[in-house]
Amino acid sequence: MQIPYPNLTRGMGLSALAMALALGGCANMTETQQGTAKGAVLGALGGAVLGAATGGSRGATTGAVLGGAAGAAGGYIWSKKMQDQKAAMETATAGTGVTVSQTTDNRLKLDIPSDISFDVGRSAIKPDFAQVLSQFAASLNANPSTHVSIVGHTDNTGSDASNQTLSMERATSARDYLVGKGVAWNRISTDGRGEREPIADNRTPEGRAKNRRVEMFVAEPAPVSTPAPATTPAR
């Protein structure tokens, strides 16, 4: 492949290193960590290209470093709309046990515990969870530029295969409910993590209950800026 900027090699070398480090460890990362790592890779690559175009080899290297740092934020922004959504969901879920937070990569996270979301071994949405999802759907419909990721989890009861299937079914049930409330299906991605990402001790009933959960992430993509086209001085 021919590199469009001859001074890009140094910056791309740094970007390649970022890619190897970030993607190499994704298999064992949580949802948030994967977003951070992938953002760093994309940021580094984009920064290297832009830096080379504007500042030669030094620009390529600096662009890769700065782009990686910006990309490590996940490629998302925390706008006033995101803050307003967080406040609205905190109010809507008060007293339900749902945790609402801002992640390190600037996503809004809703952590839905099992006691309001799903019965043991089931993927049918319980009434309390339906109320939360209805409020969530209204928030999403008011902010159509955001993207939603839904991740299902289980405890370690049962086989790996059955837990993986159940976690995916739970994420899918939540997605289908949101779509039924008017949220565009192509704004929502789903994933099931089975029992692989416990947040509590599976050796106790209380710990297993905490591990049976659904996590929902809302992200507002950062605007992509492009360099102004070069102009030829008038003669």
pLDDT tens across the length of the chain (235 residues): 444 444 444 444 544 444 444 445 555 555 444 554 545 444 444 444 434 433 444 443 333 443 444 344 448 999 999 999 999 999 989 988 899 999 999 999 999 988 888 888 889 999 999 999 999 999 999 999 999 999 999 999 989 999 999 999 999 999 999 999 999 999 999 999 999 999 999 999 999 988 988 999 999 998 876 666 666 666 6
Residue 216's nearest CA partner among 151, 164, 165 is 151
Regarding pTM above 0.75, the answer is no
Query: Would you state the torsion angle of the CA atoms of residues 43, 47, 49, 50, taken in this order, to the nearest 10 degrees?
Result: 130
Phi (first) and psi of residue 161, to 5 degrees: -65, -45
Query: What is the distance between the alpha carbons of residues 187 and 147, in angstroms, rounded to a whole number?
Result: 5
Mind listing the domains of the chain with CATH numbers?
6-71 (no CATH), 80-219 (3.30.1330.60)
Residue 123's nearest CA partner among 185, 58, 53, 175 is 175
Residue 200's nearest CA partner among 152, 166, 163, 155 is 155
Helix (H, G, I), strand (E, B) or coil at 19: helix
